[in-house]
Amino acid sequence: MMIVKIENLVKRYGDLIALDHLNIEIEEGEIFGLLGPNGSGKTTAINCLLSLLKYDKGTIEVFGKEMTPSAYDIKRDIGIVMQNVAVFDELNVYENIDYFCGLYITDKNKRKELVEEAIEAVGLKDFVKFRPKKLSGGLLRRLNIACGIAHKPKLIILDEPTVAVDPQSRNNILEGIKKLNAQGATIIYTSHYMEEIEQLCSRLVILDKGKIIAAGTKEEVKSMISLGEKIVVETFNLSDEHLHMINEMPNVIDAELRDNVLTVRQKNGVSNLVNLMSFIADYDISYGKIYSELPTLNDVFLEITGKELRD
Ligand SMILES: Nc1ncnc2c1ncn2[C@@H]1O[C@H](COP(=O)(O)OP(=O)(O)OP(=O)(O)O)[C@@H](O)[C@H]1O
């Protein structure tokens, strides 16, 4: 079943085109990634999807029905975790989650069960009596997530849920998301951290200036670029002439030497490493560590836009 279908979505803020003919389809059971640098339009896309923002053009369907500001039957099955933490300072952890869950679930026993499951999912068991002000940034984010997901929505949207959290909370959040997905929820995950998207998502789009510049599975997106692998060699006596010759080798896109580290970007090929090692042996070049890296989503972004994902 198609959970989300966005067609030709255009959103302008005055003269700025924040979303430029966005097309996205998300199937049931996916963890779908929306990757892009700050300001690329991720939050705007989410706010349009939820009908929290008016848009200029396009259509949006959720669960096969048109999404509108008053489509409460659709909204009931969506859990949203926004970038900014929105919880009540007067309520403790348990009471906060219970409150938000109570907006959807009136049966007390059922709610108790769901609140406890949410506490378990985000690892807040030891903090149920804490007020938000007593929680660290990472724990507060986990509470924010628990409030958004406790009612067991079919579609969960997380907008940059790990910004500025400690590594332990980050891992906990990512593991929690995988569990929610394994229990049947479809997930939309926005982030400018490509590692998280790589780790979590089955399919993704990469946004830049409101436009989709790449879409598909991780493998499909990576195969859009010419880079096949990056070979990195720690070397001590590589001359400019050697570097020039490496640059001329078959399959080499470019080679550069910086601080005794040679980086050779190559197109896909079965003997790239062997060829380079033979060259190093033939010219008696001394070397230390050598390793080969596959392209990352950042490389995709870099090749298509000419800039790093994390500007
Ligand atoms: N209310 C607004 N009025 C005018 N411009 C806006 C408004 N909200 C966002 N923008 C602009 O629209 C563009 C997209 O912003 P958006 O917040 O959707 O990006 P984002 O990818 O979510 O970035 P971030 O990761 O920083 O939240 C940016 O250029 C931003 O400055």
Of 113-117, 176-180, 241-245, which range is least confident? 176-180
pLDDT in tens, 68-105: 999 999 999 999 998 888 999 999 999 999 999 999 99
Q: Report the nearest atom of ligand 1 relative to the CA of 47.
A: 18
- Residue 10 pLDDT > 90: yes
Decide: 188 and 180 in contact? Cβ < 8 Å: no
Whose Cα sits closest to atom 9 in ligand 1?
Answer: 44
What are the residue boundaries of the structural domains of the chain, listed by start? 2-222, 229-294
- Residue 126 pLDDT > 90: yes
Ligand 1 centroid from CA 33, angstroms: 18
Where residue 268 falls among pLDDT bands split at 50, 70, 90?
Answer: confident
ipTM value for the complex: 0.96
Decide: 101 and 79 in contact? Cβ < 8 Å: no
Ligand 1 centroid from CA 308, angstroms: 19
Q: Report pLDDT for 264.
A: 96
In a mutational test of the pocket of ligand 1, which residue from 16, 54, 158 has the highest number of ligand atoms less than 8 Å from its CB?
16
Ligand 1 centroid from CA 286, angstroms: 50
Token duo for residue 224: 């859009």
Whose Cα sits closest to atom 3 in ligand 1?
Answer: 13
- Residue 28 pLDDT > 80: yes
Q: Report the nearest atom of ligand 1 relative to the CA of 207.
A: 21
In angstroms, the Cα distances linking 277 to 32, 209, 251 are: 40, 41, 14
Q: Across all residues in the chain, what is the average pLDDT?
A: 93
Q: Report pLDDT for 153.
A: 95
Give the SS3 label for residue 112.
Answer: helix
pLDDT in tens, 152-171: 999 999 999 988 788 888 88
Ligand 1 centroid from CA 50, angstroms: 16
Identify the residues whose C-beta falls under 6 Å from ligand 1. Answer: 13, 16, 18, 36, 38-44, 160, 192
CA atoms within 13 A on the CB side of 231: 25
Average pLDDT of span 12-17: 96
Q: What is the CATH number of domain 2-222?
A: 3.40.50.300
Ligand 1 centroid from CA 18, angstroms: 7
Query: How far is the C-alpha of 238 from the C-alpha of 257, rounded, in Å?
Result: 8
Ligand 1 centroid from CA 148, angstroms: 22
Rounded percentage of the chain residues whose pLDDT exceeds 70: 99
In angstroms, the Cα distances linking 203 to 153, 240, 277, 293 are: 20, 42, 36, 21
Q: Partners of 242 in the beta sheet?
A: none
Where residue 244 falls among pLDDT bands split at 50, 70, 90?
Answer: very high
Token duo for residue 97: 């989650």
Give the SS3 label for residue 227.
Answer: coil
Q: Report pLDDT for 172.
A: 87
- Residue 269 pLDDT > 90: no
229-294, CATH topology level: Alpha-Beta Plaits (3.30.70)
Whose Cα sits closest to atom 7 in ligand 1?
Answer: 13
pLDDT in tens, 277-298: 999 999 999 999 999 999 988 8
- Residue 193 pLDDT > 90: no
Ligand 1 centroid from CA 57, angstroms: 18
Q: Report pLDDT for 164.
A: 79
| Cα Rg, the chain, nearest whole Å | 24
Query: How far is the C-alpha of 124 from the C-alpha of 139, rounded, in Å?
Result: 7
SS in 3 state form for 185-225? CEEEEEECCHHHHHHHCCEEEEEECCEEEEEEEHHHHHCCC
Of 18, 1, 19, 118, nearest to 9 by C-alpha is: 19
